[in-house]
Structure 1
Amino acid sequence: MIRAIFFDFDGTILSHTTKRVPDSAIYALNLLKKQGILTIVATGRHITEIQEFDFCQNFKFDAYITLNGQYCFNETETIYSNPVSKNDVDAILDHIQEDPYPCVFVEKDRQYMNFYTDSVIEEYKKLGTSLPTLENIERARIQPIYQLSPYLSEKQEKELFTRCHDIKIDRWTDYVIDVLPAIGGKDIGIQKVMEYYDLKHNETMGFGDATNDIPLLKSVGIGVCMGNGKEEVKQIADYVTDSVDEDGLYNALEKYQIIK
């Protein structure tokens, strides 16, 4: 019996086309709640971005795996916390001073960056959320940083990698990467949340569409790729449903007889 379902956000719950959650997905998520099945979002986004969407102001997930697994929590407490090492944050700050590029610094409850470019503005238009505030990024030398998102060239990326010793990188567009701790990712966050709720592997299901969702789909009992997902994600999924705009989430839950 499925007791918990993990959902990527962008391209899975939220449509890239309409920038809203389809009515069928809202209906399905509310049905899951009524049936006592845990609904858990697993996203690269920060909680402040999720809260900007009208749907998420009204619907409360049982738990949140944010920042690609680096900060996990529910309404009562922090479940798991895994910041980037101070040495690596300092190395990135030093690199930016020498060869400036825009970079988003993400703390537990806020995100900010040093300056905007056309690429930054364009990417946030695609995301459908507000630009991070402009602040003095030197505060990142003091505060725990859970994720960084530099907008940099391949040459700068290679240089960054030589300076840091405990990171891994997820590139999500041609312009921007996510920098995470080397031991981190959605799979680690899911593991910690499963332990917290005492969930067995065969009691879980997950939905995703992007390459950073591959660890998610491999971590659950049933892994579902959206029809709009990347080909490499479809290849490892247990099932490929319709696209987010074609009621894919609802249709897969109905196929597996999860919702009634």
Structure 2
Amino acid sequence: MIKAAFFDVDWTLFDHKSNQFIASSLASIKKMQEEGIKVFICSARNTKSLYEFGLFSLGIDWDGFISSAGAFACLNKTVVTRKLIMRKKDVSSLISFALSKNLTMQLVTPWDRFLISEPNNYYFLYQEVFHDECKSIHSFKNEEVLGTLLYAPSSIDEELKEKFPDLVHFRFADYGIDINGGEHNKGDGINSILSYLKIRKEEAISFGDDIQDISMSTATGIFVCMGNGKEEVKKAANYVTSNVENDGITKALLHFKILR
């Protein structure tokens, strides 16, 4: 019996082609809650981005969320089950590097985010795809930082790895790279929530489409890949459903008889 469900956001709940959340998916999630299943957001987006993107204005009373690809996990917006903080000296060194290259970087805290300098061209390329504007710009004031997003071309990657070999680098597009203090993934966030709630892995289902979602497959008994997902993700899935715009979430829930 499924007791918890975890949903990626981009290209899983949200279709970037039509620029909207899929109504059938939202209706199915509400029905799951009515039947006593706990529902969670599980995203690489940071907490502030989830709020600004409208996840908490969809008419769904989410039981919690995982943000920053598993670095932060929270129940009912109050109980923090996971928080992975970077060392301040690493953050300061990254900032110095970015500014020396005339690049901007986003610093992500548990509940907020900000840019360290004015946006650059790579930032605007990111915006064209993710519609994820960071409105705050100010200097680092020793805040707790979960991770960083450097808006920069891939040509800088080798130099970054040479200067910061102890940090974790994840290049997600030609215009952006996530740099974090340690290994973490969405599966870690799911594990922290399931452990807190005493829900077994076999009693949970998750949905995703991209490489960062593969870790969800090891944390839940059922992992569903959207039809529009990457081939590596499909191989890790228990089931490949229809594309996001073709009611993929609802069809998978019906397939597994979680909804009838």
Match of 1:38 in 2: 38
- 1:106-154 per-residue CA deviation (whole Å, 9 max, x = no partner) reads 1122111112123312322322233332222x32xx1111110002233
Match of 2:145 in 1: 145
Alpha-carbon offset, residue 155 of structure 1:
3.9
State percent identity of aligned pairs.
Answer: 25
TM-score, normalised relative to structure 2: 0.93
Amino acid at match of 1:128: H
- Paired residue secondary structure (2:66): strand
Alpha-carbon offset, residue 165 of structure 1:
4.6
Match of 2:119 in 1: 116
Amino acid at match of 1:164: F
Which of 78, 82, 98 aligns to 2:100? It is: 98
- Paired residue secondary structure (1:199): coil
TM-score, normalised relative to structure 1: 0.93
- Paired residue secondary structure (1:242): coil
Match of 1:69 in 2: 70
Report the Cα distance in structure 2 between the residues aligned to 1:232 and 1:59, rounded to whole angstroms. 31
- Paired residue secondary structure (1:101): coil
Q: Tell me which moved more, 102-111 or 236-245.
A: 102-111
Match of 1:107 in 2: 109
Q: Residues 99 and 108 from structure 1, CA distance in 2 versus in 1: closer, same or farther, beyond 3 angstroms?
A: same
Alpha-carbon contact 2:225-2:239 (below 8 Å) kept: yes
Runs of 4+ in structure 1 deviating by more than 6 angstroms, as ranges, are none
Report the Cα distance in structure 2 between the residues aligned to 1:115 and 1:217, rounded to whole angstroms. 38
Report the Cα distance in structure 2 between the residues aligned to 1:56 and 1:217, rounded to whole angstroms. 25
Match of 1:171 in 2: 171
CA RMSD of aligned residues (A): 1.6
Higher relative contact order (CA 8 A, sep 6+): 1
- 1:46-95 per-residue CA deviation (whole Å, 9 max, x = no partner) reads 22222234453132211110011111112232111101222321221221
Q: Residues 182 and 92 from structure 1, CA distance in 2 versus in 1: closer, same or farther, beyond 3 angstroms?
A: same
Alpha-carbon contact 1:44-1:66 (below 8 Å) kept: yes
Report the Cα distance in structure 2 between the residues aligned to 1:131 and 1:73, rounded to whole angstroms. 22
Amino acid at match of 2:131: G
Alpha-carbon offset, residue 2 of structure 1:
0.8
Q: Tell me which moved more, 113-122 or 161-170.
A: 161-170
- Paired residue secondary structure (1:40): strand
Match of 1:129 in 2: 132
Q: Residues 161 and 132 from structure 1, CA distance in 2 versus in 1: closer, same or farther, beyond 3 angstroms?
A: farther
Report the Cα distance in structure 1 between the residues aligned to 2:144 and 2:211, rounded to whole angstroms. 27
Report the Cα distance in structure 2 between the residues aligned to 1:54 and 1:214, rounded to whole angstroms. 25
Q: Number of residues paired by the alignment?
A: 257
Alpha-carbon contact 1:84-1:167 (below 8 Å) kept: no
- Paired residue secondary structure (2:15): coil
5+ residue gaps, structure 2:
none
Report the Cα distance in structure 1 between the residues aligned to 2:196 and 2:71, rounded to whole angstroms. 15
Match of 1:184 in 2: 184
